[in-house]
Structure 1
């Protein structure tokens, strides 16, 4: 679909295509060539990868998981607790999704929340204001990423009180991550105290990574699929940039609260780069 008029009727001179999945990007003398899923090719001067940071579910290498013969799924695949009624379930993770899903599942099943770190709760409301309001109005949202620890111990779980109460009541119960899975009976996990227990389902609430495989031909990504960049500007190609990455510039870079600021900054610097080159 070619759209060239904005909501006020003013021309954008923009070729907007929906349902056009990019399969690969290659660099050439004039910029880049994009290959789309339908085989179409586009020649462009610059590429901004704005596909965010939540496109690829992360499956960590947990001890013995490859030998588990029960059901393994990621939080991205979870929809409702009813299909798991009566099961023994281990939810791996300590962030918002892990705690919320584990608490919901605990209404139908016996659930353990397994994580390498304790669950850390943050109050959803303080003095009548939402946590996101405080982050915005205190300026924490806009502080450069270098002012924060790059690898915090755990993500804070934003809570109105119910999740803390559920974990405290043991529904779900909380344990360290299992240390292995029985090699003979692949449905038994081994806990840190040496005990073993049969488990029906392991649910990985272990986050996401950027889905940037289409940039692999450029050599713009490291071995884990993360881009080489500084504040959204590629370190490998002057005409390549990113928007929506976690900690791209600040705490809110991968959220709606911060992506607009990063977009304006990246556009200015990318335009200057293209002018120089």
Structure 2
């Protein structure tokens, strides 16, 4: 059986950043990516997605994003960038290798792959993000809904919803973007349903500088706030004014969460009952770490038990790319490399021990 130094599970932005940081520490990581290319979940996001951070803040170490640093790159630009990064990375990347289970063995780890093969590794970095584990909340009557029900994971474009009555559940960036797109491009009648009102951040406050400039100069982007975060957080919507104006115009309108569903009929809190054609759940994700279940390394909501990305249950296990792993930016292109350097330093020290 092949023995690896460090197995990095996931070949998206988190896995690539982890491999780069481990190479800088003299380790020999092997990246195991389930899909056919090392671009993570980015190829699967909806067609109109653009970054909230400018290109100048969205690079991994060793390769600038390129182009106008003030622009907001499109999904496909991010995919192309990650593929370029993978090509120039001084680490082995194996695509089409999905890890199904990780077990502790002989002071290290045994990885079972979906194709039936096995690998041994002295250390493991879990860098699979959350796209493979969409959060589907238990909403009243949702299981009885007879219309089209999908998570935003499966949403691509507004055309299939043309002229329909659509309810988007959520109050974050994806929920607002998708709801506004459906209302504008599909001419759908769209409501944004959420338990709390939408919170807003101006994309370019205080003199026109992008929000991420202020997060950086104030230190808020890197502050170790993750250990104080309990459970998933609802982030404010970053807006250049378009989405707030769309909600103010009622396209989409925003409503408190519905109270029940029976078949295609939805009942709102004011007692109104109407037929709904489709529901889109823009309700976030949970960590996609089911392969770690044999280690008993997971806690509440299938989240890992860790401190700043280092496992509290297994000293050779680390994480990169978790939401609020250490800071506000831990799960983003602009912040994942800082966490990768931190866990690489800790793993290198662990592996250097007799």
Tell whether the structures are fold-level matches, with TM greater than 0.5.
Answer: yes
Deviations 1:145-198 (A, max 9, x none): 15865468732111111110110011101100101112xxx1111111122111
| 1:87-126 paired onto structure 2 within 5 Å | 87-107=164-184, 108-126=187-205
Q: Which residue number corresponds to residue 155 of structure 2?
A: 78
1:133-172 equivalence runs, <5 A = 133-145=213-225, 150=230, 154-172=234-252
1:152–1:204 CA distance, 2 compared to 1 (3 A)? closer
Structure 2 equivalent of residue 129 of structure 1: 209
RMSD of the TM alignment (CA)?
A: 2.5
State the Cα deviation string for residues 209-257 of structure 1 (Å, max 9, x = none).
Answer: 1111111111111252111111111111111110111111111111111
Aligned residues: 269
2:140 corresponds to 1:63:
yes
Which whole-Å CA distance do the structure 2 matches of 1:231 and 1:96 have between them?
25
Matches within 5 A, 1:122-271: 122-126=201-205, 127-145=207-225, 150=230, 154-182=234-262, 186-222=263-299, 224-271=301-348
With normalisation by structure 1, the TM-score equals: 0.90
Q: Note the C-alpha offset of 1:276.
A: 4.7
Q: Distance in 2 between matches of 1:16 and 1:153?
A: 32
Q: Is the 8 A contact 1:117 1:154 kept in 2?
A: no
SS across alignment from 2:93: coil
Deviation at 1:128, TM superposition (A): 2.2
Gaps in structure 1 of 5+ consecutive residues:
none
Larger Rg: 1
Q: TM-score, normalised by structure 2?
A: 0.71
Out of 232, 249, 272, which is 2:349 matched to? Answer: 272
Contact 2:131 / 2:153 at 8 angstroms: preserved in 1? no
Deviates more, 1:230-239 or 1:220-229: 220-229
Note the residue ranges of structure 2 that are not aligned, 5 or more in a row.
Answer: 1-27, 31-61, 63-84
- Structure 1 residues 258 and 15, CA, compared in 2 at 3 Å: closer, same or farther? same
TM superposition outliers: structure 1 runs of 4+ over 6 Å: none
